[in-house]
Structure 1
Amino acid sequence: MLTKGDDFPIHQTPEPIAYAGSDRNFYDRYFFNGYSPDGSEFVAVAFGVYPALNVADAHVAIIRDGKEYCLHASKILRMERMDLSVGPIRIEVIEPLQKLRVVVEKAEGLACDLTFEGRAFPIEEPRFMRRNGPRVFMDYTRLTQNVRVSGWTEVDGERRALGSGWTGTRDRSWGIRPVGAPDSQSTPSDAIPSFFWQWAPLNFADKSVFFHVNADHEGRPWNTRAVILPDGAGAEGGWHADAPRMEEVTLKAGTRHALGGTLKVPLAQGEASIAIKPKGVFLMRGIGYGGEWRHGALKGELAVAREDIDIAAADMASPENWHIQAISTAIYEAPGEAPQEGVGVFEQLIFGPYRPYGL
């Protein structure tokens, strides 16, 4: 089947763009977030294409005054991967790898027009590859880029300009991870079911700091990296460290969420120390990471719905709320440099046992 994508030199297989290999879990996704300098306001966007499921979906969440206002949209893809719109939500690639726009035409009382402009060339994270027994669980690539954010958001007729100083992060990932309805038959394996994930993209006045770690239930990392990237850095710029450590982590009682942590990044002149202090919570289910509107779910020809979440009333011990981004302040200290205060997110997901934290 030929589609619009076939007229662009972007093929990766001998087949038309409509086909993305043979794995039903293939996906191709955009993610964006943005926050005010004090972290009091927050917006996040997810947009995913699932070629083998023939589904596309998009989600927008706006945090105001302790409430998370979410708009979900899903459609049948009809194998047309070049159409970056789902109902009222669309993405415009203004300048690849540098400037993108997200527009939400008013629907269910929510709307926005946001532009995300890169602070430096995106980083390419190490390829994520993990098996459950004989079966591929994850196999994907992701680029990540800290951004300056401009535009406005609207909730129930109240439009607010973002103002100066908004920053955030965007990423693009593509490959294989579980999407859509769970498989009806599990794959037998001797491995203990668990998943540990931390991700901390942080914005400072003249630089970005990136950190991620996937680890097994014993705390052994199977994918990790930290990058310190000055503004304006090119594709080969910045400091890349393969052995960062997140230390001094204490979980909030009764939850799987950290009260804070200190990121240690080895440098040529010693070690950078970045103290991360959460001050707010964003529930990732608000943009399709789990819940009724999980990524790749088949909702029919087109479905659009609003969901409002009272964050203070949410049960943080419930599995649906394990996956969060903690809006955080951060203090950066390194030998020979003046301390800097910044803002970012501390994303966390711990499923199953994790011995270092007593889970």
Structure 2
Amino acid sequence: MLTRFDDFPIHQTPDPISTPSTGEKDFYERYWFNGYSKVGDMYLGVGTARYPHLGIQDCGISIVHNGVQHAFHASARANPEPSDLSVGPFNLEITEPMKACRVVLEPNDTDFAADLTFEARTAAIEEPRHHWSDGSRRIMDTTRFTQFGRWHGWIEYDGQRMEIDRTDTYGTKDRSWGVRPVAGGDNRGAPQPPRAMGLFFLWAPLHWDDMCSHYQLFEDTLGRPRFHVGAFLPAYDSLADNPAVEDPGVEPMHRLEHQLIFEPGSRMIKSATLAMTSLEDDTRHEITFDKQFTYRMKGIGYSHPTWSHGDWKGELAMESERWKLADVDDNAFENQHVQHLMKVRMGDRQGIGVLEQSIFGPYRPYNLEGHIAPAN
């Protein structure tokens, strides 16, 4: 089927742009954002994804403030036009590619509404292609880029309205596409024999006054790296000055290190020290993390028991919910994928950002056993 994009010279296969290059039903296109106040008392998450083979577009908005996490979920039949990123009252508009996006949630039957704009503070940084296999079948094959920015606008939830000020609110954009398993998956064929599958993933996009830093690490159950990427990125005050796609001022890093301390009785990270070394001059940079609170990624669908990604809920379905952070069971499966809002220090620099963890299965360096068993 032809779409508006077919008028541009961007095709990678002889098929129209609307036809994915793979028949994998789990093929997806996702936009994900976070945002947080500089003082560390608010966290905002926004996500939306399109599953062309499933015919589904879903989305979520979730905010933490005053010890409570509020969440909006929606799912609908995807529009055949891929440039239409709406889900009922929700819409994501690419106002300036690689520089600015606008998220609008019109008033609806839930208690959520919003009009938020993300403006890039750095150029985008391409991450290594992510591969993950379960035996002979590759179940994850994605490309992703990260970009740092600021937010402005407003959000309403639970009878409250919060104004978002560009000077006070940092954030991150994560854009990915490819194949990633969704709930249910393809259950055909013989059952897989038991094996020690595991996932150890850390991601720390951080804002500093004069730059941003990027840290991402994916290791196997023995602590061997599957991929990693680290960098320091120049920050820009205006969109006009931002190179957006490739920035020659990016300083690449290698030798990514981590020292984690877990909360008693769970796998939740309590505090951390991360380090990485400059490829240019071999300088080692160490960052210490002070946790403010934890955001559960289920707020925008990750591992959510009823609002998981790519799940057909009819032509249009919406719901909002909330929970107190103090009441969350840190040992439940749905609460294992999280982002911790962190104040950070690197030498004389002070900054803020998140440390995302997704740690499943055994992991020898920290003596983790079982699938989600607490740290020893």
Into which bin does the TM-score normalised by the smaller protein fall? Answer: over 0.9
2:277 maps to 266
Distance 2:325 2:262 in 1: 18
| Residue 158 (structure 1) shift | 2.1
How far apart are residue 22 of structure 1 and its match? 1.0
Alignment partner for residue 218 of structure 1, among 222, 226, 234? 222
What is the CA distance between 1:242 and its match in structure 2? 2.9
- Count of residue pairs brought into register by the alignment: 353
Alpha-carbon distance in 2 for matches of 1:45, 1:162? 14
Q: Which moved more, 1:193-202 or 1:157-166?
A: 157-166
- Alpha-carbon contact 1:180-1:298 (below 8 Å) kept: no
* Distance verdict in 2 for CA 1:305–1:10, change over 3 Å: farther
Distance 1:271 1:159, change over 3 A: same
2:106 match: secondary structure:
strand
1:184 aligns with 2:195: no
Structure 2 match to 1:13: 13
Q: Report the equivalent of 1:336.
A: none
Q: Secondary structure at the match of 1:342?
A: strand
- Matched-pair contact (CA < 8 Å) for 1:225–1:243: no
Displacement after TM superposition at 1:269 (Å) = 5.2
Counterpart position of 1:244: 256
> Pairwise mapping of residues 341-356 of structure 1 onto structure 2 (< 5 A)?
341-356=350-365
Alignment partners' CA distance in 1, 2:206 and 2:82: 31
Please say which of residues 84-93 and 231-240 is displaced more in the overlay. Answer: 231-240
Q: CA deviation at 1:78?
A: 4.5
CA RMSD of aligned residues (A): 1.6
Aligned in 2, Cα 1:273/1:103: closer, same or farther, shift over 3 Å? same
Residue in 1 that maps onto 2:124: 122
The separation in 2 between residues aligned to 1:18 and 1:358, in whole angstroms, is: 46
Tell me if the contact between 1:29 and 1:49 (Cα under 8 Å) persists in the aligned partners.
yes
Q: Is the 8 A contact 1:132 1:187 kept in 2?
A: no
Q: For the residues of structure 2 that align with 1:2 and 1:230, how far apart are their CA atoms? A: 39
Answer whether contact 1:133 1:189 (CA < 8 A) is retained.
Answer: no
Contact 1:43 / 1:61 at 8 angstroms: preserved in 2? yes
Deviations 1:213-251 (A, max 9, x none): 11111111111111111214741321112321112x111
The Cα shift of 1:59 comes to 0.5
**Structure 1 equivalent of residue 336 of structure 2:** 322
Q: Supply the AA of the counterpart residue of 2:187.
A: S
C-alpha contact 1:135 1:187 (8 A) present in aligned 2: no
Inter-partner Cα distance in structure 2 for 1:52 and 1:310: 36
> Contact 2:338 / 2:356 at 8 angstroms: preserved in 1?
yes
* 2:82 matches 1:81: yes
SS of equivalent to 1:6 = helix
Whole-Å separation in 1 of the counterparts to 2:282 and 2:229: 18
- Give 1:355 shift: 1.4
Unaligned segments of structure 2, at least 5 residues: 237-241, 369-376
Counting only pairs closer than 5 Å after superposition, residues 36-51 of structure 1 correspond to structure 2 as 36-51=37-52
The residue type equivalent to 1:161 in the other structure is E
Specify the alignment match of 1:340 in structure 2.
349
Aligned to 2:345: 331
On the 8 A contact 2:200/2:359 being kept in 1, the answer is: yes
CA distance in 1, matches of 2:282, 2:359: 33
8 Å Cα contact 2:26/2:185 also seen in 1: no
Q: How does 1:258-297 map to 2 (within 5 A)?
A: 258-267=269-278, 268=281, 270-291=283-304, 292-297=306-311
**Same amino acid, percent of matched pairs:** 39
Q: Judge conservation of contact 1:28–1:173 (CA < 8 Å) in 2.
A: yes
What residue ranges of structure 1 are gaps of 5+ in the alignment? 334-338
String of CA shifts for 1:63-108, please: whole Å, max 9, x gaps.
Answer: 1211111111111115331211101111111111111111111231
| AA of the residue aligned to 1:67 | V
Deviation (angstroms), 1:48 = 0.1
What's the counterpart of residue 29 of structure 1?
30
CA distance 1:278–1:142, shift in 2 (3 Å) = same
- Residue number in structure 1 paired with 2:148: 146
Asked if residue 302 in structure 1 is aligned to residue 304 in structure 2, the reply is no
The reply to whether residue 253 of structure 1 matches residue 285 of structure 2 is no
Give the TM-score taking structure 1 as reference length.
0.94
**Correspondence for 1:91:** 92
How far did 1:166 drift?
A: 0.7
Give per-residue Cα distances to partners, 1:331-355, cap 9 Å, x unaligned: 012xxxxx11111010001111111
Give the conservation status (yes or no) of the 8 Å contact 1:200–1:345: yes
Aligned-partner Cα distance in 2 for 1:212–1:218: 17
